[in-house]
Structure 1
Amino acid sequence: MVIIDIYGKIEKTKISDKLKVFISNVPEEWKEDIKNDMLKEIKQQKIDIENSIKEYGRSYEIEYTLSFLKKIVHKNIEDCSKYDLDSIDNCIQCLVDNMICIFFDYDYEDMPFFDWTTNCFDGRFCEEDYAEKLMHFINFIHHDLPDEIYMNCLYSSNTDHLSKSRILLVVSFRLRTEFSKWKSKHTSIKKLKEVGNRIDTIISSENDYYKLDYLMNAMYKDNSYNQNHFFKTFSLIEMILMRDKHRNLNIDSLLIPFLKSDYDNDSELLAKLLRQMRNKIAHGDFQGFNKKAEEYAQKFMARYQFDYSEYSRLNWILLNTCCLLDDLLRKVLLKQLKYNLQF
């Protein structure tokens, strides 16, 4: 189960029909554990503050006092009139009752291609909750798009139980930040349903499910900007763009339209260099990769300030090119979803 930063009382709501994704308030059987985690977080925060004061003379952390928790409740929850917020316990209960989770819920009679043994999106005891992968996928494609939905994770069943709880840290974010244009519950749910509908439109075959599964797993928790990320991201872009009708086209010609707005006349050269760098990795020619990476830097990072106390020259180039490829992948996926282009 994954709890996201949308708050309020809701009915169970379908987000994607083909993936069988829903949102609802947190199930009753989970509430006590979530509440206990939050109460432990309050106690641990107080201990951390006291230790910081002893060691450094001050603390930059905020104590979760009753008055602060009341502010958190009023900031996040539109209607809390039914709750008497006269104690920390009541404030926590109000927050938990109004939390919303995203999850997969299958009735296998209407699953088009899968059953219990084969469904790659279903939850297993020894596999990670797929809802977090879906959340990451949606957040990735909506990066820097303020009108679209972006979700922060309050709680995930994927989290290591030895890790420090951070539920209240995320819940209090709206209070601690100067950002004010938060989407309402109704707007957030509307946006979630829109992206769910778009995902449904690009799935038309069993292979499309497998391809979406491959994409989500490949992108999940990968922030290591190295040759592996470069190779993988370029290959994901190529996989999406090289549909049947494009089999006879060079990948360069398919990349150029996505590069044109930022690189204009240099788009052709850039597409060629990116492809050559990918190919060098594929063939194990890392000396050749380094030479092509330097060609890229000479042309496209001429005004870049390299701080070699932070990264080597090659790692700076990899950071730059991997960010570029992430943006390209994002543009390609957005086009797929916007124009209902099937995989």
Structure 2
Amino acid sequence: MADHSILEKYEAIQHRFDEVGQQITDPSVMSDMKRYVKLNQEYKRMESLVQAFKEYKALVDNIRSGREMLAEESDPEIREMAKEEIEASEVQLPEKEKEIKLLLVPADPEDGKNAILEIRAGTGGDEASIFAGDLFRMYTKYCEKKGWRMEITNVNEGTSGGYKEIVAKISGDGVYGVMKYESGVHRVQRVPQTETQGRVHTSAASVAVLPEAEEFDIELKTEDIRRDEFCSSGPGGQSVNTTYSAIRLTHIPSGIVVQCQDQKSKLKNLDKAMAELRTRLYNMEYQKYLDEISSKRKTMVSTGDRSAKIRTYNWPQGRVTDHRINLTLYNLQAIINGDIDEIIEKLQVEENAEKLKEAEI
């Protein structure tokens, strides 16, 4: 049975879609980059909704015309074709309704953005740094599979391997919308390389994923920023420790400090540091939104509260458990090698269910 409330929404959605389509070709709109980008994003989001509506309407029309044919036709062959058409359309109708209802829930406008990934070693000393390195390798391999580009902006290496801290930018289609589920505390249970008696230790590393701010998202004033230049440290070739190419920026009003040292060029490091500073300032406001939704959606508790433990990697049992949705998988080696699609997909399904419930559509 068709949901008539869905069909009632179709006309208004189609009208808005046509309106936005006209606006993005208007020269006065195109000259306002901030407005133009937002309208483009809205158009892209509505495109799939309008297409789903058209497919839904086609199914409803097929059922109606099939029933009219049954009422009017006496030819057995035509009647059989009409029955098949009705049955096939009625099977597809509920799924298409579900798809439309989900598309009608307002999307997080940040989901389409690039992301800044931060991994920091937590409790556990050298083993925590090694685990932070394992997580970074996992995300590197995952990004390779997705065709995303990863650029390291800052590194502080661990004394026995891995990282005390590593920050990277991930660029690609819809990166933040996928990677946001990784924010939170990741815990590891295994025998550390430094353990001589074979005892299992528990260590942790924190992961934060931030949507990258666009240039027009936030305005930076030159007088609010203190800039320091220093010698790069760590890998990087002959220029390391010889030229003042590394950049540290301090945003005086907020106290936020960022630095970039991965490029030999001072200007490239400055560009990356400015982009990261914009992102951190933007996220101070975005965090208010995250705090609000974290109380409603268990899948996002990690993003709203980055001290929340979200996942445990148990080496002796070959087990990975995501505590938000009580999901346990016994394929740790594949997961730590970047095969995290199953976890993220199940988190997305859970969040979609929570969105529908929240919206009461």
TM range (shorter): under 0.3
| Larger Rg belongs to | 2
Which one has a larger percent strand, Structure 1 or Structure 2? 2
Q: TM-score, normalised by structure 1?
A: 0.24
Which one has a larger percent helix, Structure 1 or Structure 2? 1
Q: TM-score, normalised by structure 2?
A: 0.23
